[in-house]
Amino acid sequence: MKILVTGSTGLVGTALVSTFAREGHTVCRLLRPQSVVTGGTKEGFDVAWNPDTGELGGAAVGADAVVNLAGASIAGGRWSGERKNLLRTSRINTTRVLVNALAKMNTRPRVLVSASAIGIYGNRGGEVLTEESKPGLDFLAGLAQAWEAEALKAEALGIRLVLARFGIILSKHGGALTKMLLPFKLGAGGRLGSGKQWMSWITLEDAVGVVRFAIENGAVRGPINIVAPGAVQNEDFTKVLAQALHRPALFPAPAFVLRFALGEMADALLLSSQRVRPQGLQQLGYSFLQPELAPALSALLARI
């Protein structure tokens, strides 16, 4: 297959490009002029793409699938008004321009897998959330809804659409886990706030596997929760992580300290609770490589 990927320099995008290229697919990284590809040999092909103008290089013609992962890092800086605007435009505007570019193609891709996030559900305590659950009301929930609304326009073009609602992605290459490791390695790790908030996670390997599954399986469409079935509360996550590192978990971070340091972002990313079930994937028969947290962390940390 010929696969186009936006956001190809991020955590998931880098892994996807590498996996697809190894499997013999033709992978085209849609790159902005300022984008830089790092990390060893460059796999796949670079295709010039300018979300500001909608210009898309001719090498994108004839694609079978598109994976849209574009978006500035949610945790990349304190949420000032300017930062929030960047989070919105890098997702909503970019997805709008991408769909418009696909509309101009004579032969359109069969499927678009467009990133979203479980943040769409908001802070829901211990409520079990599925793809059928109503969205939340906070900033991230509104952002995800607007993001998905732009991607949904692809359906009118006859393109099968998959809305990939990613949970917390665990990887040794970056993301949430690598930020958690240092305090635990120093023996200063512990729960965040009350520790009762639910964390819905998935390994990077499974995240890549789900995207591949979504591209190859024509039955996959609409919103899909990309999380493992073994969601845990934060206090249990920290205990499992500490055990995997053979370190204590004795130093909780009070909610007021997190809010002072990070502002609104602390509530949205660290203290918010989302107990998400991968109902769609389970009904479709996806087989998780790492469905439970303890063996998943053990496997990941053994390679670090």
Q: What average pLDDT does the structure give for the chain?
A: 91
Q: In terms of Cα–Cα distance, which of 124, 125, 147 is closest to 136?
A: 124
Could you tell me if residue 263 is left (phi over 0), alpha (psi between -120 and 50 degrees) or otherwise beta?
Answer: left
Q: pLDDT band at residue 180, thresholds of 50, 70 and 90?
A: confident
What was the pLDDT predicted at 35?
Answer: 62
39: pLDDT strictly greater than 80: no
> Where do we find the tokens 């305590």?
125
Would you say 200 and 168 are in contact if contact means Cβ atoms under 8 Å apart?
Answer: yes
Q: Where are the alpha helices (DSSP H) in 120-175?
A: 139-152
Bridge partners for 261 per DSSP:
none
Q: In terms of Cα–Cα distance, which of 7, 214, 156, 17 is closest to 94?
A: 7
Q: What is the pTM of this model?
A: 0.93
Share of the chain above pLDDT 70, in %: 96
Residue extents of the structural domains in the chain = 2-170+202-227
4-8, 140-144, 154-158, 257-261: the lowest-pLDDT one: 257-261
Would you say 69 and 5 are in contact if contact means Cβ atoms under 8 Å apart?
Answer: yes
Share of the chain above pLDDT 90, in %: 69
| More confident call, 55 vs 28 | 28
Q: Domain 2-170+202-227 belongs to what topology? A: Rossmann fold (3.40.50)
Radius of gyration of the chain (CA): 19
Name residues whose C-beta falls within 8 Å of residue 302's C-beta, 6 or more positions apart in sequence. Answer: none
What was the pLDDT predicted at 55?
Answer: 79
Q: In terms of Cα–Cα distance, which of 126, 91, 135, 143 is closest to 272?
A: 126
Could you tell me if residue 248 is left (phi over 0), alpha (psi between -120 and 50 degrees) or otherwise beta?
Answer: beta
pLDDT in tens, 246-286: 888 878 888 888 887 788 888 888 899 999 999 999 999 99
Distance, CA of 167 to CA of 118 (rounded, Å): 6
Q: In terms of Cα–Cα distance, which of 254, 227, 232, 257 is closest to 243?
A: 232
- Counting Cβ atoms within 10 Å, is residue 85 exposed (0-12), middle (13-18) or buried (19+)? exposed
- Where is mean pLDDT largest: 60-64, 108-112, 174-178, 300-304? 108-112
Name residues whose C-beta falls within 8 Å of residue 217's C-beta, 6 or more positions apart in sequence. Answer: 284
Beta strands in 118-242 (DSSP E): 128-129, 160-166, 168-170, 198-199, 201-203, 222-226, 232-233
**Coil, helix or strand at residue 228:** coil
What was the pLDDT predicted at 40?
Answer: 41
Q: What angle do CA 103, 158, 92 make, to 5 degrees?
A: 55
237: pLDDT strictly greater than 80: yes
